[in-house]
């Protein structure tokens, strides 16, 4: 993006002979919430640590607000950092933990009191001033860590798996709280996670990391509905990958013959030549049991397994080439194992991936 606030320009990081971040370019706008999502070892945390100043790039440049920061020490970068393990001082009260970065900056006592009171109220911890970390729940400790990262009014807030240690209900509540703070304060947030649903829920854009590179970056719906590669399609959410061969292409719709002999129509941003072998991604929730509409793809299949998930059934079917997984709504037809049926999906709900 042309109005980049944070910019990584051909940044690489190697530890010995192992390259962890590989010639990476990334731009983040002011006030944007960008999640870096990927498996362990994909380079996302290393990139965050280089932005924070805890690691130095082997090559390339990092700038914030148009100024190079890669040579600055962490305390001169004006960034708040929130870690998974909270990193609170156990011998200090909540107030003293939150006030610590202000004291280090020589802020007056009166202003410290005002800022700490304001930020603790913001994270709903106004009644916990004098408690020690050990007297708080995991969610409360994470709120203290967030308050400490916000209290000195940083330009950027960096979060490294900040919700990974919380249980599901607390994690979901904190997701909403952080989103709310982001919107209210206009914060620029760079968020590292391996949790796909967390990234989809919270982000303006998601960068999918794989082997030190970004495979795809875009809004949550773009990443989920229009994955560009097999890795992205399989890493974020669930998908069915079908193999086939292109027979024709017209106005962004490809005619594809699948390995099992079924003919389907598929959306594509490219127009591969006839005869090219392709992979087709279709999400389980996009597939209907039975016929679903005129012009939709239809496959004859046999039901091989059914798993109850409360709000939906996960149905595995065999279409003759490879199994398909269908997320069937409870109010739809109830299948039986061994039943012959039809599954259908719209051409715009399946996508060619590289």
Asked if residue 345 lies in contact with residue 283, where contact means CB atoms within 8 angstroms, the answer is no
Residue in the structure block whose two tokens are 């408690």: 131
DSSP alpha helix (H) spans, 44-186 = 44-52, 94-104, 109-122, 138-150, 168-185
- pLDDT range class, residue 86, cuts 50, 70, 90: confident
Dist. CA 192–CA 33, nearest whole Å: 11
Dist. CA 100–CA 265, nearest whole Å: 60
- pLDDT range class, residue 85, cuts 50, 70, 90: confident
The whole-number average pLDDT for the span 116-133 is 88
The whole-number average pLDDT for the span 69-96 is 87
Three-state DSSP state, 349? helix
Instruction: Please report, to the nearest 10 degrees, the dihedral formed by the alpha carbons of residues 30, 188, 52, 115 taken in order.
Output: 120
Dist. CA 26–CA 181, nearest whole Å: 24
Residue 66 CA from chain centroid, whole number: 26
> Which numeric CATH code is attached to 242-353?
2.40.50.100
68 Ramachandran zone, left/alpha/beta (phi>0; psi -120 to 50): beta
Instruction: Reply yes or no on whether the pLDDT at 77 is more than 70.
Output: yes
To the question of domain 4-233 being in CATH 3.40.50.300, the answer is yes
Instruction: Reply yes or no on whether the pLDDT at 2 is more than 60.
Output: no
Looking at every residue in the chain, the average pLDDT score rounds to: 89
Instruction: Reply yes or no on whether the pLDDT at 76 is more than 90.
Output: no
66's tokens: 């148009």
Three-state DSSP state, 135? helix
pTM, entire model: 0.87
Dist. CA 89–CA 137, nearest whole Å: 15
Dist. CA 216–CA 143, nearest whole Å: 31
Looking at residue 287, the DSSP 8-state letter turns out to be P
pLDDT at 126: 85
pLDDT at 332: 60
Instruction: Reply yes or no on whether the pLDDT at 1 is more than 60.
Output: no
The residues, any chain, with a CB within 8 Å of residue 197's CB and separated by 6 or more, are none
Instruction: Reply yes or no on whether the pLDDT at 63 is more than 90.
Output: yes
Domain ranges of the chain: 4-233, 242-353
> What are the tens digits of pLDDT across the range 271-321?
788 889 999 999 999 998 887 777 899 989 999 998 888 888 888 998 777
The whole-number average pLDDT for the span 143-171 is 85
- pLDDT range class, residue 202, cuts 50, 70, 90: very high
């Amino acid at each position: 993006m042309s109005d980049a606030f944070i910019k990584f320009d051909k940044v690489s990081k190697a530890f010995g002979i192992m390259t962890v971040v590989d010639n990476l370019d990334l731009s983040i706008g002011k006030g944007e919430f960008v999640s870096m999502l990927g498996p362990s070892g994909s380079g996302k945390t290393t990139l965050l640590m280089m932005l924070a100043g805890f690691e130095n790039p082997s090559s390339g440049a990092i700038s914030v607000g148009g100024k190079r920061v890669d040579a600055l020490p962490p305390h001169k970068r004006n960034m708040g950092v929130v870690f998974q393990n909270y990193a609170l001082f156990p011998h200090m009260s909540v107030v003293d933990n939150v006030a610590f970065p202000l004291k280090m900056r020589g802020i007056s006592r009166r202003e410290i009191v005002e800022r700490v009171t304001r930020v603790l109220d913001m994270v709903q911890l106004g009644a916990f001033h004098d408690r020690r970390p050990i007297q708080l729940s995991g969610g409360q400790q994470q709120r203290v860590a967030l308050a400490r990262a916000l209290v000195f009014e940083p330009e950027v807030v960096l979060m490294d798996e900040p919700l990974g240690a919380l249980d599901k209900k607390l994690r979901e509540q904190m997701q909403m709280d952080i989103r709310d703070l982001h919107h209210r304060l206009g914060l620029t947030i760079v968020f590292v996670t391996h949790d796909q649903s967390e990234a989809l829920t919270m982000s303006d854009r998601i960068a999918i990391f794989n082997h030190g590179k970004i495979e795809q970056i875009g809004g949550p719906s773009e990443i989920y509905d229009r994955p560009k590669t097999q890795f992205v399609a399989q890493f974020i959410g669930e998908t069915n990958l079908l193999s086939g061969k292109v027979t024709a292409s017209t106005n962004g719709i490809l005619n594809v013959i699948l390995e099992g002999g079924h003919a389907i129509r598929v959306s594509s941003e490219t127009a591969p030549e006839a005869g090219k072998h392709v992979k087709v991604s279709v999400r389980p929730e996009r597939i209907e049991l039975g016929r679903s509409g005129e012009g939709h793809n239809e496959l004859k299949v046999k039901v091989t397994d059914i798993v109850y998930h409360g709000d939906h059934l996960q149905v595995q079917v065999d279409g003759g080439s490879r199994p398909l997984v269908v997320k069937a709504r409870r109010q739809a037809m109830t299948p039986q194992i061994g039943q012959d049926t039809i599954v259908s999906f719209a051409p715009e709900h399946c996508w060619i991936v590289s």
